[in-house]
């Protein structure tokens, strides 16, 4: 048992240093493609502010955020999620897991459809043609529990984008590790998501990068109380998330020699843009509520004159017989919210 735990710690340390190594290519804001991969793929992830980082339990809806959630506890589980995203954009996710040896193989497929578009010439004349635009991703992962405390996992993903006459294919990997305490009251995870780039080159002869995200999270359940608090720290690979935002708040620094004014990148504003805070009210095994606050979403998308509920997410889970239903609402802007609906079932129990 001690040897297994030492191996588990080594695996987590290895993943951490891989996370640090991604700093050199982890870019944001206009320097990455396939950003649909950042949209929460399940209702539960959406309710938690965009990712389920920090949580480790027997829910197949978590495997897209961290392949370390793939273990034998979700053998033969199936989930289907639908997202009514902002405006008329629609998305969906399918996930299935099956036990394989000491671990579990998981398959997830997700899509994002932008609807139909008219083909228009440069002079503004419509040709009468229409086309559909969309993004697709297929993930195949494997994970296993090393012992009662540590779990690890990895996934390979194939990404395809189709925008009329522009098509693009990319390959990437996800890596993850999770820890759950003996008391089951504390969990912690680390995940490296979307490490990779496109196979074919773009018009400027470069290969587009996937939206790499290194994130850690932790959750703690209050003993003898139906409360669990969680926190997530996203995009470790890049500290500066806000200096390109016109609403960025930080002290200015004036160069004594040149007189040039620069905005400091190390600020509390930048710190909080990485954070998501939330809580679960776990009334029973059959019903729970989730609330979360995404600081970065609030900073970047809230209207200056009226912020509304931007950055706030809400979700509910209810189990009826052999089926689990999830619903979440995420507020991005006063002009639009997204609705997520998910159905999950343990096929071993259902049939």
What pLDDT sits at residue 9?
Answer: 52
| Residues in CB range of 54: below 8 A, 6 or more apart | 187, 188, 189, 216, 217, 218, 219, 230, 231, 232
Per-residue pLDDT reduced to its tens digit, 335-349: 678 899 999 999 988
Q: What mean pLDDT is reported for the chain?
A: 85
- Strand segments (E) across the chain: 77-84, 90-100, 103-120, 126-145, 150-163, 166-180, 186-198, 213-221, 227-233, 252-254, 261-263, 275-284, 287-294, 312-320, 323-333, 336-346
Per-residue pLDDT reduced to its tens digit, 210-222: 999 999 999 999 9
Q: In the chain, what are the domain boundaries?
A: 2-236
Q: 């009468």: which residue's tokens?
A: 128
Pick left, alpha or beta for residue 334 (phi over 0 → left; psi -120 to 50 → alpha; otherwise beta). Answer: alpha
Per-residue pLDDT reduced to its tens digit, 322-334: 899 999 999 887 7
| Residues in CB range of 109: below 8 A, 6 or more apart | 93, 94, 95, 136, 137, 138, 139
Per-residue pLDDT reduced to its tens digit, 251-276: 666 665 666 666 666 778 888 999 99
Per-residue pLDDT reduced to its tens digit, 145-170: 999 899 999 999 999 998 877 889 99
């Amino acid at each position: 048992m001690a040897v297994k735990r030492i191996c588990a710690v080594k695996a987590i340390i290895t993943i951490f240093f891989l996370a640090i190594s991604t700093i050199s290519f982890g870019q944001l804001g206009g320097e990455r493609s396939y950003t649909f991969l950042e949209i929460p793929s399940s209702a539960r992830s959406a309710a938690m502010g965009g990712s389920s980082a920090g949580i480790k339990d027997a829910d197949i809806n978590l495997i897209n955020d961290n392949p370390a959630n793939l273990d034998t506890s979700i053998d033969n589980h199936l989930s289907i999620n639908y997202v009514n995203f902002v405006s008329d954009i629609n998305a969906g996710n399918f996930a299935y897991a099956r036990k394989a040896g000491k671990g579990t193989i998981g398959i997830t497929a997700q899509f994002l459809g932008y609807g139909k578009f008219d083909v228009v010439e440069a002079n503004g004349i419509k040709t009468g043609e229409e086309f559909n635009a969309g993004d697709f991703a297929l993930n195949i992962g494997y994970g296993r529990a090393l012992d009662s405390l540590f779990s690890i996992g990895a996934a390979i993903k194939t990404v395809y984008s189709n925008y009329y006459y522009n098509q693009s294919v990319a390959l990437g990997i996800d890596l993850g590790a999770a820890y759950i305490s003996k008391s089951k009251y504390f969990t912690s995870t680390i995940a490296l998501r979307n490490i990779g780039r496109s196979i074919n080159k773009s018009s400027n002869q470069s290969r587009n990068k996937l939206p790499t995200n290194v994130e850690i999270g932790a959750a703690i359940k209050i003993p003898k109380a139906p409360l669990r608090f969680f926190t997530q720290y996203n995009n470790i690979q890049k500290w500066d998330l806000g200096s390109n935002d016109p609403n960025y708040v930080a002290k200015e620094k004036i160069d004594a020699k040149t007189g040039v004014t620069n905005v400091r990148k190390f600020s509390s504003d930048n710190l909080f843009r990485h954070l998501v805070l939330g809580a679960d009210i776990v009334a029973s095994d059959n019903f729970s509520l989730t609330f979360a606050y995404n600081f970065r979403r609030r900073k970047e998308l809230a209207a200056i004159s009226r912020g509304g509920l931007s950055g706030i997410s809400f979700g509910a889970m209810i189990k009826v017989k052999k089926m689990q239903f999830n619903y979440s609402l995420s507020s991005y802007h006063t002009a639009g919210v997204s609705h997520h609906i998910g159905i999950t079932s343990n096929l071993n129990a259902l049939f």
